[in-house]
C-alpha cells in the first residue's frame, strides 16, 4: 500500500453550514479526520494540519509552510504522494506556487470543495477520495502539481476558478483537463509541458496586480512608483494594450527599474506586440514591459514574486515568462 501525506489547511471542505443562518463556518475539528477509516483502505495515510484557514487568509507565509512540509518528507524519502486540501478562492495560487518551487516526480495533488461538509450534495469528501486515488496512480508522477475536483484533473499552471459557486468551477481555458477520474480508473489524456523550477526558501518581494480599464490614466501608476514595490503585473486590454493616458505612469515605474509583466484581462489567448498605435503592444514591448505567455494575472504575480527572489536580470525573468 502506498504512503500518502495529507496536508489539511482549511477551506470550505473543512467547514459546515449553520442550519439557522445558512452561513458557512469553520469546524473546530476537520470533518475529514472522522472518515479516516475509508481513506486507509486506499493508502497508508499520514496527516499534517499546519493551520486551518479559509483561502482568503492564505499568504505567501502559508504557501511556504506547505512547501517546507513537502520538502521535509521528500528529503526523508519513502513517500509516494501528497494530497493538500485548500479553500478554493486562492487554491490556484498555492498550487502554482508549489508547482514552480518544488522539483519532484512524486505526485502532489490539491483539492477542495464548493459545498461544506453538511450541505446537500457536498462534494468535499468525494473530491478528497478522488485526489487520493490520483495520488497513488503511477501515471500521476512527473506531471507537476495537479488540481483534482469534480472528476477532472488539471495542471496548476492552467487551472482557474471560473464560477463563484458551481461545482464545475475549476476549468483550464484553452487546454481543458489533462485527465479524468471515473469509477474504475484514472485516465490521463496527455503529459503537460513543465516549466523551469525556481526553488526558494523565502518569498519577500512585493508585487502588485492592476487591471486595465477604459479611460484609465497614469495616476495609479504614479502612486505605485512612490510605493516600495518590487514588481507589477498589469492585466491589459485585449492582446496586450493600454489606454495611452497610462503611459507616463508606466514609464515612471520602468525608470525606477521596477519590472512590469503584461497579461490579458481576457481568460483566453496570450498577449503579443501586435498593435502599433499609442499604448499598443508594440510600444509597450519597446518600453521594456515583459509579455507573459498565457498566465492569468494572479499566477503571473506569483511567478514574478518567485523570479525576483532568484534574480533581477530582466532577460532571465522574461525567458521564464515565455515558457
Active site amino acids:
12
In this structure, are residues 155 and 146 in contact, taking their beta carbons and an 8 Å threshold?
A: yes
The alpha helices in the chain, defined as continuous H runs, are 36-39, 60-76, 91-101, 124-135, 219-225, 247-255, 281-287, 297-310, 314-321
User: How far is the C-alpha of 177 from the C-alpha of 186, rounded, in Å?
Assistant: 12
Smallest CA-to-CA distance from 298 within 60, 47, 72 is with: 60
User: How far is the C-alpha of 291 from the C-alpha of 271, rounded, in Å?
Assistant: 6
What Å distances lie between residue 227 and 48, 83, 202, 290, CA to CA? 38, 38, 21, 21
In this structure, are residues 298 and 319 in contact, taking their beta carbons and an 8 Å threshold?
A: no
Query: What per-residue string of b and e applies to 33-70 under the rule 16 or more CB within 10 Å gives b?
Result: eeeeeebeeebebeebbeebbbbeebebebbbbbbebb
In the three-class reduction of DSSP (H, G, I as helix; E, B as strand; rest coil), residue 17 is classed as: strand
The length of the chain, given as a count of residues: 323
User: How far is the C-alpha of 192 from the C-alpha of 47, rounded, in Å?
Assistant: 29
In this structure, are residues 204 and 235 in contact, taking their beta carbons and an 8 Å threshold?
A: no
For the range 26-29, what are the long-range contacts, defined as Cβ-Cβ under 8 Å and sequence gap of 24 or more? 26/52, 26/54, 27/117
In this structure, are residues 48 and 151 in contact, taking their beta carbons and an 8 Å threshold?
A: no
Amino acid at each position: 500500500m502506498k504512503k500518502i501525506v495529507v496536508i489539511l489547511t482549511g477551506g470550505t471542505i473543512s467547514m459546515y453550514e449553520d442550519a439557522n443562518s445558512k452561513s458557512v463556518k469553520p469546524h473546530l475539528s476537520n470533518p475529514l479526520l472522522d472518515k479516516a477509516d475509508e481513506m486507509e483502505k486506499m493508502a497508508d495515510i499520514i496527516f499534517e494540519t499546519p493551520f486551518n484557514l479559509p483561502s482568503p487568509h492564505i499568504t505567501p507565509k502559508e504557501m511556504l509552510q506547505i512547501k517546507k512540509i513537502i520538502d521535509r518528507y521528500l528529503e526523508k524519502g519513502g513517500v509516494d504522494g501528497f494530497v493538500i486540501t485548500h479553500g478554493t478562492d486562492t487554491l490556484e495560487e498555492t498550487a502554482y506556487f508549489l508547482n514552480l518551487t518544488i522539483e519532484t516526480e512524486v505526485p502532489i495533488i490539491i483539492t477542495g470543495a464548493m459545498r461544506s461538509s453538511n450541505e446537500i450534495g457536498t462534494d468535499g469528501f468525494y473530491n478528497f477520495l478522488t485526489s487520493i486515488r490520483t495520488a497513488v496512480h503511477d501515471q500521476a508522477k512527473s506531471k507537476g502539481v495537479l488540481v483534482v475536483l469534480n472528476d477532472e484533473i488539471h495542471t496548476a499552471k492552467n487551472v482557474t476558478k471560473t464560477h463563484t459557486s458551481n461545482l464545475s468551477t475549476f476549468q483550464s481555458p484553452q487546454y481543458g483537463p489533462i485527465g479524468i477520474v471515473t469509477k474504475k480508473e484514472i485516465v490521463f489524456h496527455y503529459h503537460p509541458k513543465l516549466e523551469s523550477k525556481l526553488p526558494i526558501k523565502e518569498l519577500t518581494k512585493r508585487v502588485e496586480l492592476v487591471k486595465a480599464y477604459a479611460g484609465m490614466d497614469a495616476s495609479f501608476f504614479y502612486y505605485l512608483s512612490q510605493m516600495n514595490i518590487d514588481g507589477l503585473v498589469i492585466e491589459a486590454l485585449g492582446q496586450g494594450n493600454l489606454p495611452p493616458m497610462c503611459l507616463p505612469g508606466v514609464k515612471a515605474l520602468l525608470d525606477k527599474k521596477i519590472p512590469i509583466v503584461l497579461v490579458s484581462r481576457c481568460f483566453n489567448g496570450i498577449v503579443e506586440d501586435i498593435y502599433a498605435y499609442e499604448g499598443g503592444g508594440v510600444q509597450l514591448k519597446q518600453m521594456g514591459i515583459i509579455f507573459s505567455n498565457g498566465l492569468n494575472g494572479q499566477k503571473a504575480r506569483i511567478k514574478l514574486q518567485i523570479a525576483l527572489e532568484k534574480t533581477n536580470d530582466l532577460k532571465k525573468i522574461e525567458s521564464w515568462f515565455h515558457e
